[in-house]
Amino acid sequence: MTDVSNKIREEAGKLLEKGEVDVIIGFEKGSIPLSATPCFIRNEADIEKLIWNEYCGNNLSLYLSKARGKIGIIAKGCDTRAIVELIKEKQVQRERIVIIGVPCEGMLDRKRIMIRCQSRNITGIEDQGRQLLITGDSLNVAVEKDEFFYPACQVCANRNPVMCDVFIGNTIEEQKTDEFTDVTDFNEKPSEERWAYITDEIDRCIRCYACRNACPLCYCKECFVDATQPQWVGKTIEQSDTLSFHIMRSIHLAGRCIECGACERACPVMVDIRKLNRKMSADVKNMFGYKTGLDIDQPAPLSVFKPDDSEEFILDI
Amino acid sequence: MKNLYLPIPMKVENNHIETEDRNIKTLTLSFLNNKDEETFNFIPGQFVELSVLGAGEAPFGIASSPMDKKHLDFSVSRVGLVTTELHNLDPGDTVGMRGPLGNGYPLEKLRNGNVLIIGGGFGFSTLRAFTNFILHPQNRKQYKDIAVVYGARNPGLLLYRNELSEWEQRSDVQLHVTVDKGGESWEGKTGVVPVIVKELSIDTDNTTALVCGPPVMIKFTLPVLAEMGLAPEQIFLSLEMKMKCGIGKCGRCNIGSKYVCTDGPVFNLAQLNLLPQEY
Amino acid sequence: MDYRIIKKSKITEYLNNLINEYVIFAPIEKDDIVLYDRIKSGDEVILDYSNSVNSPKEAVIPQLETLISCKNNEDITCVKEHLDEQKRFLLFGARPCDARSLLFLDKVFNDEKCRDVYYMNRRNALTIISLGCTRPQETCFCTTTGGSPFSSEGSDLLFVDIGDDYIIQVITEKGAELVEKLDLENTQNDELTKMDIVINKSKARIEPEMELKILKDKLDSSFEGSAWEILTEKCLSCGICTYHCPTCHCFDMIDEETKGKVERIRLWDSCQFPHFTMQTSGFNPRPTYKERYRQRIMHKFSYCFDNYNMAGCVGCGRCVSQCPVNLDIRQVLTAFYGKHEEIRL
């Protein structure tokens, strides 16, 4: 990891020095254990702040439309997939960004590790490769990393950058293609059980909109949920309103969601938001043979019409 | 303990179209309960929350004078959900009202001095209330010279036209109505409010200015008033912010540590100069 | 002060004795996360926890609350207030920071000029038993905001963990009444010594990081300037920090028509949302994340001093641990407090 961090600093430094970019968007050390935090580097003297580790989970591409000037961005597989879609949807101009691609072997879920550590004060973390030895206040636990990668990382089939200008490190072996077995398994459950699962999850939602705001593809200037004339969705935390929000959001992301899991990572009450988005992705894959975020020239299936498009979703009443 | 969220039931007496574009209507309301009528006392510049059940609440400055105890006027510009519902009301319909809210114009300070009233467009409503209040026979002698400058974008957008004509006839008030752009039939003044204000000759020592209007009018009027020699303490502005509760709790109308709903909406310029420019 | 002692193993039993008389909110574990929620039985309660994900403010300002209502076919003259008599409400196991947040909320909602009846209705029915913090977390900063891990401000009873027992500090009359009801034993001197050791040990672990009065001056003089933009560039403008903050209390009021009824409800809102201050004309005095985050900080550490002579923050650290981009409020404050020059503009 230190090698990668050093290489990132080196490449980012060059870009800033040569004036090829005005800002580097990357990660710096977080303020609490097991964290890293997005940072914006504009000054060569700050280059040393840049780091790379297994806590760099945020999808940085969401900052691309916000930052001014020419941008260098440190991007793992999912960040580059989002960039592909953002370019396709004309939210980001390819020539305005320099992508520093970094392969990613999965990001660790701080919240679940903290639960494992009973939220005790952490004073020491020893990285043993596949294990973390965490010590602290009445605390001494060994955490198997494999159990604590984010769910999205566990099924990620594009851990290497799909597009980049500078490549850092070595290409890593991809995990097997995502067959959406989780979606199939879930689909096989009786509808009452599925409904109970989804509503149980959604009932925890407090409508802080962190899922939406952390999503690189949720860039609408005015989200349907905020519109008042007409008001599409009720503003309460009653199940019908909350569920409407999540369902409508997932449908709006159908064929656009790049499955980075940023929504789920941001959720303070750990709602399984991906459940809905995964179903949409599986449907898009099955109906249109399409996977998002891979090819800048391939149009999104729901934004184009083809005479032989699948019509399975049209209800035959 | 009084429930400050409970609206007073009011009856619509009239819903009159004010402007040619039909976008502003003046609602005249009366009290459904005598007790509410007796206890409702306000000063010009205060506002209320009007509500149509099912649509919600919105704040409106009281546009009528407190000398009329039976009726309250509100000029409503149709922009959103609540205002559209208010526009659709017919005489006899009911609405909810919470208030009076806010501080109102500084009546004590204004007494025994000259008053310069400067309004622009839709912002004139509470100034109309104030003007009618001080022009009332019972009150007029408590104020010295009164000048009113009122501007709108075009003649069709002028509010309270009948009253303007009445004021025009009076010798105890100097009225200057102006439009940015007049038509062929317009015989009055043409020019933006700050320009008209500049032309006034006023004894600034004993004058207080009340200003309410669109941001651009305020922006250009304030330097004119300063140039005329008015100190920041002599200039009062009525501000508008998004509001919900109207009682300093819901947290959205603050400018610095001041809440427009409870500390305002009327502030003098000296007070505003101490606050951040976040309005 | 009056002190009592209670066996830890007896807590469940005592809570069960109270459950018919009180609605009890306590920390429970639900789907892996610790939440304050209503309990049905004393054994749901967990006592070995750092702090809950949500704040106990829900006991006095629920996220959703009906203020008034009427039937669809009725008009404003038939409006009904929703001010039912509250059952006695017990908040058990609140942390001292959270208990202290109630003092702050009282200043806002129990203001002489504009008293909020809905808040007071719940607040008057509320008794707070807090549990002192023997293990402050790295995200905690209560001492910086004027509290401490064993502050009794806002609590009716304060429990101090001395091993197998809790020492109970009886703070208010409400607390005394509860203690009498439970018929608890008095303490011995050696137990009180143990308590002092626990308290001092914990206090030593969490030193104040700055002087609030100085911080206020520094913030007041830094309202303008690009530091805000730089410090908050990563902010997502989501509502986590405000929704889970024990002192944030901003709300929206809307009308809902459902099931033949029209209800005027109030529900949490957040100064971090763009629509919070957006006027119908489209003008927004706080148009970007910079102004909105600045509002949150200025409100808590400057405006609240002007209006309530108390910080609008109790240092619970929820916004620190839950922020999806690790925008740490302590770092922002520190930047303005002393190391302003370190921010490269």
Residue B16 lies inside a defined structural domain of this protein: yes
- What digits encode the pLDDT tens for the residues A56-79? 999 999 999 888 899 999 999 999
What is the average per-residue pLDDT within C199-219?
A: 91
- What digits encode the pLDDT tens for the residues A116-162? 998 888 989 999 989 999 999 888 999 999 999 999 999 999 999 99
Residue B75 lies inside a defined structural domain of this protein: yes
Domain chopping of chain C, boundaries: 2-59+83-204, 212-256+270-342
User: Which of these three, B71, B101, B131, is where a domain ends?
Assistant: B101
Percent of all residues in chain B with a pLDDT value above 70, rounded to a whole number:
100
Residue B247 lies inside a defined structural domain of this protein: no
Domain chopping of chain A, boundaries: 1-107+155-177, 110-148, 178-307
Nearest chain C Cα distance for residue B167, angstroms = 31
User: Which of these three, B34, B67, B101, is where a domain ends?
Assistant: B101
Would you say A186 and A199 are in contact if contact means Cβ atoms under 8 Å apart? no
- What digits encode the pLDDT tens for the residues C62-81? 999 999 999 988 888 899 99
Based on the fold, state whether residues B222 and B123 are members of the same structural domain.
yes
What is the average per-residue pLDDT within B23-46?
A: 96
- What digits encode the pLDDT tens for the residues A216-242? 999 998 999 998 878 899 999 999 999
Instruction: Tell me if residue C295 falls in helix, strand or coil.
Output: helix
Quote the Cα angle for C177-C179-C182, to 5°: 110
Contact (CB<8Å) B54/C262: yes
Token representation of residue B150: 């009122």
b/e code C152-165 from CB counts within 10 Å (16+ = b): bbbbbbbbbbbeeb
What is the average per-residue pLDDT within A287-302?
A: 91
What pLDDT, on the 0 to 100 scale, is given for residue C343?
47
Torsion angle in degrees (nearest 10) through CA of B235, B238, B241, B247? 110
pLDDT at residue A317 greater than cutoff 70:
no
Would you say B116 and B202 are in contact if contact means Cβ atoms under 8 Å apart? yes
CB atoms within 10 A of CB B9: 19
pLDDT at residue C181 greater than cutoff 50:
yes
Percent of all residues in chain C with a pLDDT value above 90, rounded to a whole number:
80
Instruction: Give dist(CA A39, CA A42) in Å, integer.
Output: 10
Based on the fold, state whether residues B129 and B202 are members of the same structural domain.
yes
Q: Residue B17 belongs to a domain with what CATH number?
A: 2.40.30.10
Quote the Cα angle for B274-B275-B278, to 5°: 150
- Chain B hits for A229, CB-CB cut-off 8 Å, are 80-81
Supply the range of the domain harboring residue B179.
107-238
- Chain C hits for A218, CB-CB cut-off 8 Å, are none
Residue B36 lies inside a defined structural domain of this protein: yes
Based on the fold, state whether residues B85 and B156 are members of the same structural domain.
no
Quote the Cα angle for A5-A157-A283, to 5°: 140
Neighbours of chain B (3+ CB pairs under 8 A): A, C
What's the mean per-residue pLDDT of chain C? Answer: 92
Residues sharing a CB contact under 8 Å with residue A90, sequence separation 6 or more, in sequence order: none
Which one, of B262, A237, B247, lies nearest residue C254 by Cα?
Answer: A237
Token representation of residue C94: 């609140």
Contact (CB<8Å) C326/A206: no
H-type alpha helices, C205-284: 212-220, 227-231, 240-243
| Residues of chain C numbered 5-64 and touching chain A (CB < 8 Å) | 31-34, 48-51, 53-54, 63-64
b/e code A106-138 from CB counts within 10 Å (16+ = b): bbbbbbbbbbbbebbbbeeeeeeeeebebebbe
What pLDDT, on the 0 to 100 scale, is given for residue B144?
93
Q: What is the greatest pairwise CA distance in chain A?
A: 66
Instruction: Give dist(CA B44, CA B36) in Å, integer.
Output: 18
CB atoms within 10 A of CB A289: 9
What's the mean per-residue pLDDT of chain B? Answer: 94
Q: Which helix (H) or strand (E) holds B63?
A: none
Based on the fold, state whether residues B128 and B224 are members of the same structural domain.
yes
- What digits encode the pLDDT tens for the residues A152-198? 999 999 999 999 999 999 999 999 878 899 999 999 999 999 999 99
Beta strand residue intervals within C230-300, DSSP E: 251-258, 261-268
Neighbours of chain C (3+ CB pairs under 8 A): A, B
pLDDT at residue A103 greater than cutoff 70:
yes
Q: How many helices (H) and strands (E) in chain B?
A: 8, 15
- What digits encode the pLDDT tens for the residues B136-195? 999 999 999 999 999 999 999 999 999 999 999 999 999 999 999 988 889 899 999 999
What's the mean per-residue pLDDT of chain A? Answer: 93
Nearest chain C Cα distance for residue A6, angstroms = 22
Would you say B272 and B258 are in contact if contact means Cβ atoms under 8 Å apart? no
Tell me what percent of chain C is helix, strand and coil, each rounded to the nearest 5. 40, 20, 40
ipTM: 0.94
Q: For tokens 């405006």, what's the residue?
A: C303
Name the residue facing C31 among A138, A236, A270 (closest C-beta).
Answer: A270
Q: Residue B114 belongs to a domain with what CATH number?
A: 3.40.50.80
Residue B27 lies inside a defined structural domain of this protein: yes
Closest residue, chain C, to A265 (C-alpha): C324
Residues of B engaging C, defined by a Cβ cutoff of 8 Å? 1-7, 9-10, 32, 51, 53-57, 79-80, 83, 94-96, 215, 240-242, 244-245, 247-252, 254-257, 262, 276, 278-279
What's the number of domains chain B is made of? 2
Contact (CB<8Å) C79/B53: yes
Residue B269 lies inside a defined structural domain of this protein: no
pTM for the predicted model, two decimal places: 0.94
Instruction: Tell me if residue C333 falls in helix, strand or coil.
Output: helix
Burial (CB count within 10 angstroms: exposed 0-12, middle 13-18, buried 19+), residue A59: buried
- Chain A hits for B81, CB-CB cut-off 8 Å, are 228-229, 231
